[in-house]
Every structure is written in C-alpha cells, then in structure tokens.
Amino acid sequence: MLKLYYKFNFATEPKYYNADEKINGKTMAEHLRFSVAYWHTFTEDLSDPFGVGTALRDWDSLDEMEKAKARVDAIFEFMDKTGIEYFCFHDVDIAPEGNTLEESNKNLDEIVELIKKKMNETGKKLLWNTTNNFTHERFVHGAATSSNADVFAYTAAKVKKSLEIAKTLGSENFVFWGGREGYESLLNTDMKLELDNLAKFFKMAIAYAEEIGYKGQFLIEPKPKEPTTHQYDTDVATSHAFLQKYDLDKHFKFNIEANHATLAGHSFQHELRYARDNQMLGSVDANQGHPQLGWDTDEFPTDFYDTTLAMYEILKNGGLAPGGLNFDAKPRRTSFKQEDLVLTHIAGMDAFALGLRVASKMIEDEFFEKIVEKKYSSFASGIGKQIVEGEVSFKELENHALNLTTIDNESDHLEVIKSEINQYILNINNQ
Ligand code: XUL
Ligand code: CO
C-alpha cells in the first residue's frame, strides 16, 4: 500500500467539515458531494512554462502501466483517508495512450477493470468521466471542431470509448469541456461549419449513450479562453444559446468552474445564477483563480466569501445531485510534497463547509429574499403587477407615466448588505 502522507497532525483536521452533521435535513456529505480530480492530484507534476515539475510522488519511478496501477491504489487510499466519496477522470489520466487507438483502448480496459473492482470493494463512486481531446498533437486544430475530418472521427472513437467506460463504472455524469474547440484567428476559420459540426457531434454522443443504455447526466463545462484564443463554450449564456439553437438543451446541464467564470469576466456566482435560473445547473468544478493573474491557475478554493455565495446558489438550486463539487484544483508548484495533496483538499473542503453553514443560515433568515422582495416591491401591485402579468401595452404605460407627478427611487444601501454578510460569516460559530 502506498503511503500518502506521513503524519496526520492536528492542523490537517477539518475545522468546519463534518461529513455526518445534518444541515437542513441533509448531511454535509450529501450537500457537498466532494470529488477528487485524477489529473491534478495523481498525474500533475506541477511544471509551469518556465520550470520542470516539482511534485514528489511515490509512483514517480515506475514505468507507465505500473504507474497507472499504482495511481489506482493511491486514489482509493486517498479517498478513504480524506473521506471524499467521488472522483473524476479523463481517459488519458487513468491509462497511458498506446501507439494505436486499439492499444490505448486495451490499456483503458485493463485499468477500468481495476477501478471497478476497487469501487465495488470501497463503495466510492465516479462523479464524472470525460475524454482528453486536447493534449495530443493530433488535436492541434481542435477535436470535434477540427478542420480535419479524420480528427473528427478519431475524437468520436475516443468519446465512444469513454461513454462505454461511463456505463461500465456507473458514472453519474459525463463531461464535455471544450479543450481546443475554438479558434486562434477568424482569418482562417469557418466558424459556422465548426459549430454545426460540434452540434452534430453532440447529437451522435446522445444517440450512442441511448444505444448502450448510459443514463448519466451530460454536462458542458464553459471556459472563455485558454488554450485557444476564443473557446466556443465561452460562458453559460453563450453555451446555452448554442444548445438552444441546435435543440440540444434538454440533453445537457452545465458543469461550472469558478476560475473559468472569472476568466470570462464574470463572478462564480453569476455563472451559477445564470445556470440555476435556466434549470441548467448540473455540477461544479470547485477551485479559484488568482486575482492578479489572468490565467487558469486552478487554485484550491479557500475564499469563504465566494464559497458562501456559491453555496447560496447551490442550496437554492435544491443541491447539485447527481452533480457535485469536484476539486479541479492543484497545489502550487511550491507545495510539492505528497502530504500537500491531503492538506489542499482539506482546505477546500473546509472553505465549502463554511460556505454551506453560512449560506444555510442566510436562507433560514431569508436574508437575500427580503432584500430582493423590498427592492422589487413596485412589481407586486398596481401598474408593476400588471406589467409582470402581461396586462398592459405602451398605451396604458404612457397614460400611467403622464399621470406621474414624481418618480421616487430608493437607495440600495449595498455597503450595509456587504457588512451584514461579513457579520454572518464572523458569527457562524456562535449560532
Ligand atoms: C480545463 C478544465 C478541465 C475540465 C475537464 O480548464 O477545467 O480539466 O474540467 O476536461
Ligand atoms: Co474543470
């Protein structure tokens, strides 16, 4: 058995997360549905564009297939020790690619069998799996939006295999993150053809899932840029319009990543709200960006203000199930020890547990609901109610406006709202 950490001292124990504690009738584990990302926690070497990998891992010296098997042992030990119930992976995270597609599929079969055995023994579950159609050089022009039809076909073969894996392992969701589905420049891009092809690709994926009886929830994970200059699944609103245009919206929900939201110039809460308001909130990639860096830093979530507002949206959504909170996050390059894998996850679990506690108290007090009800009270009666109910036209509205002697607006007192949120967070342990 691999030794994942050397001592489990006091500092590593969660302060706010308590899996079995009930909040509003559900345990914290049921509310939060934490998941480990195979790629960041078990294959990431912490290299950056200026320096080599610094991560020290017990499996570093093994050859590729042995390494893949060691990582299976490691992730199940990790889930056991951290109390995390779910995990997520890309096809290439769990098994090395072979020289041919056939060889890659054979490697996958061997590791999937091992994973299935471990899942049966431990009761741990697969939150979602996905396909890596961006790292290999064949995907230089994209995958389902590539200008090369052979690459489109190769991508289909890989997603077909991943759907079969999803079915075998009972994956609760299946994710499509855009990878290189986007463009470097419009000067040489047929955007319409690429988007039409992408829609055809999704229709084939839906048809194949139906054919094999895979019933997991399909999720799109929006991101505005990186690796391409313009990613087609820019944000929730853009991706929702795409899904509606091609009549695909009934088949998908969104997997919303905090750092992707901020890269798109939105807040994490904005993306969650947009999805929730459209019944499209499916799952979350729980991480955070760095306020001074303009790229996808995939940091572990520690900002409790953000996690509070995120948990508010998630609770108002009625939870995330069958989705969850997947830590699509990696330790900093300077946090290179194996024990950092545990420490970072506990920091993230605690930040979301704190957010859950605070958001749940705010909902109990109807904190935001009362503010919003007061702000929009003009639409609860009179002319406002008539507008909401679609009973008036420009003529009645003009008549109403002509009879107005004054227009009175109220102050938002936004700073008071923020200060009251601070009080909720600071007082959460005394309630
Ligand atoms: C990339 C990203 C991916 C997806 C899965 O920014 O978030 O890891 O979550 O492909
Ligand atoms: Co992600």
- What is the 177 CA–ligand 1 centroid distance (Å)? 6
Q: Quick one: pLDDT at residue 5?
A: 52
Q: Quick one: pLDDT at residue 284?
A: 99
Residue 93 annotated as catalytic: yes
Distance CA 142, CA 134 (A): 7
Range 287-296, long-range pairs (CB < 8 A, 24+ positions): 287/257, 287/258, 287/259, 287/327, 287/328, 287/329, 288/258, 288/259, 288/262, 288/329, 289/258, 289/259, 289/262, 289/263, 294/263, 295/226, 295/263, 296/223, 296/226, 296/259, 296/260, 296/263
Decide the pairing of beta strands 125-130 and 173-177: parallel
Nearest ligand for residue 223 CA:
1
| Predicted model pTM | 0.97
Atom of ligand 1 lying closest to residue 90 CA = 10
User: Per-residue confidence of the chain (431 residues) as pLDDT tens digits?
Assistant: 455 554 444 457 889 999 999 999 999 999 999 999 999 999 999 999 999 999 999 999 999 999 999 999 999 999 998 999 999 999 999 999 999 999 999 999 999 999 999 999 999 999 999 999 999 999 999 999 999 999 999 999 999 999 999 999 999 999 999 999 999 999 999 999 999 999 999 999 999 999 999 999 999 999 999 999 999 999 999 999 999 999 999 999 999 999 999 999 999 999 999 999 999 999 999 999 999 999 999 999 999 999 999 999 999 999 999 999 999 999 999 999 998 999 999 999 999 999 999 999 999 999 999 999 999 999 999 999 999 999 999 999 999 999 999 999 999 999 999 999 999 999 987 76
Does residue 40 have its Cβ closer than 6 Å to ligand 1?
A: no
Give the SS3 label for residue 244. Answer: helix
Helices H / strands E in the chain, number of each: 16, 12
Determine phi and psi for 110, rounding to 5 degrees.
Answer: -65, -45
Q: Which one of 31, 40, 91, 93 is the catalytic residue?
A: 93
Distance CA 55, CA 381 (A): 62
Residue 90 annotated as catalytic: yes
Count of alpha carbons within 13 angstroms of residue 17, beta-carbon side: 22
Nearest to 327 by CA among 299, 289, 356: 299
Q: Ligand 1: which of 221, 223, 259, 300 to mutate, most ligand atoms within 8 Å of CB?
A: 221
Does residue 313 have its Cβ closer than 6 Å to ligand 1?
A: no
At position 227, the amino acid (one-letter code) is P
Q: Ligand 1: which of 285, 295, 297, 330 to mutate, most ligand atoms within 8 Å of CB?
A: 285
Q: Which two tokens stand for residue 351?
A: 């930040």
Distance CA 307, CA 268 (A): 9
Does residue 328 have its Cβ closer than 6 Å to ligand 1?
A: yes
Does residue 298 have its Cβ closer than 6 Å to ligand 1?
A: no
**What DSSP line would sit under 373-386, residue for residue?**
HHHTGGGSSHHHHH
